[in-house]
Structure 1
Amino acid sequence: MAKKQSTGTPATRVLEKSGVPWTAHPYAHDPRATSYGLEAAEALGVPVAQVFKTLLADCDGTLVVGVVPVDAQLDLKGLAKAVGAKKAAMADPALAERVTGYVVGGISPLGQKRALRTVVDASAEEWDVVYVSGGRRGYDVGLAPADLVALTRAALAPIARR
C-alpha cells in the first residue's frame, strides 16, 4: 500500500498541529527574483517591514536562527549579544539547507529538521500579523508575532539593521 503524501510543508504541519490561527499565502514565485522577501511583500501587498526572512548564523560554533524584516540585514553583533556569544558569522547557504531541510529563499523558522536556538527581531511586535516563509519559495504564512515566538521558542531582541 502506497504512503499517503501530505500536501503541506513541515512548517504548515507545525501550524496545523499547534492550533494557533494562521493564514496561507501562496503566490507565483519568479525564479529570476533577486530578493525572495521583497518579492513576497509585493505579492502579498503588505509593507516590507511586516514580512520576515529566516537566516542562519554561526555564533561561537553553534548555529542560530535570526528572523528579521526582509528590508533589513541581520545585525550579527546584535544576534551574538542576544545569545551570549562573542561573535557571529553568516552560515554557509548549503549548510543552512542541510540543517533546516528547506531551500534558501524558502527557509521557514517553523518545522526545521532540528530545533535551533531562534531570535526574532523585536520589530515583529509592532504588527498584529507577521509573514514568514511557509517552507518553500512562493509560499508565506501569516501569524501573530507572539505565536511565532512561542512556536519557535524564540527570544525577542533588536537584531535587524537598516
Structure 2
Amino acid sequence: MSKTTRATQMLSKAGVTFSVHAYDYDPNAERVGLQAAEALGEDPSRVLKTLMAEVDGKPVCCVVPSDREVSMKKLAAAFGGKSAAMMKPADAERLTGYHVGGISPFGQKKHVPTAIEEAALAEVQVYINGGQRGLQVRLAPRDAQATLKAIAAPLIA
C-alpha cells in the first residue's frame, strides 16, 4: 500500500502536520468507519467518515464521526439548501477520483463545498481517510477544516 496519495500530497503541500496510519481494511464490514476505528483502536467519535451528498442537486462533501448518522435536513441547512440526499457510489467515485471506502475529503479530483461536524472540532486529533482503503491520516480537526475551507456545522442526527 502506498502511503502517498493525492490526499497526503495536498496536506503536505498545505504544510499541515499529520501522521499516516494503515490498517486492515475489511471490504465486507457493515460500516467502514466503525471498522476503521476498531482496527485503529480509537474511539469512533475521533475517526471521521467522508460522505458525498447532493444539496439541491449540487455535490457536497461532509465529514462526520464514524459512529453517527448525517441528518439530511441539517446537511441541507448547512449549505443553505432545501433538500439533501446521499450521492450514488459510482457518482461519488467519478467526482472524487477515489474508491468508496477510500474517499478522502483531501485531494479530490474536483473541489466541492465541504462541511465538518462542529462537535469534531472539540477533539485534539482526529482520523480522516487518507485517500485509500485502509489508510487514515491523523491531524488536528481545525487543520482539516482550514485546509478544506470547510464550514463547521451541526450535521449529525
TM-score normalised over the length of structure 1: 0.93
Residues 33, 39 of structure 1: 8 Å contact kept: yes
Q: 2:44 aligns with which of 41, 44, 48?
A: 48
Give the distance between the partners of 1:109 and 1:74, measured in 2 at CA: 16
Give the distance between the partners of 1:90 and 1:28, measured in 2 at CA: 26
Q: Which residue of 1 aligns with 2:134?
A: 138
Q: Which residue of 2 aligns with 1:94?
A: 90
Q: 2:154 aligns with which of 151, 158, 162?
A: 158
CA RMSD of superposed structures (Å):
1.1
Q: 1:119 aligns with which of 115, 121, 143?
A: 115
Deviation at 1:7, TM superposition (A): 5.7
Encode CA deviations 1:92-115: one digit per residue, 9 max, x unaligned. 110000000011111001000011
Runs of 4 or more, structure 1, over 6 Å off, are none
Encode CA deviations 1:58-101: one digit per residue, 9 max, x unaligned. 11121011111111111111011011001111111100000000
Secondary structure, counterpart of 1:24 in structure 2: strand
- Gap regions ≥5 residues in structure 1: 1-5
Deviation at 1:32, TM superposition (A): 2.3
Give the distance between the partners of 1:56 and 1:20, measured in 2 at CA: 23
Q: 2:9 aligns with which of 13, 19, 22?
A: 13
**Identity of counterpart residues, as a percentage?**
49
Give the distance between the partners of 1:142 and 1:78, measured in 2 at CA: 26
Tell me the number of residue pairs that the alignment of Structure 1 and Structure 2 aligns: 156
Q: Does 1:74 align with 2:70?
A: yes
- Gap regions ≥5 residues in structure 2: none
Deviation at 1:16, TM superposition (A): 1.3
Q: Give the letter aligned to residue 91 of structure 1.
A: M
TM-score normalised over the length of structure 2: 0.95
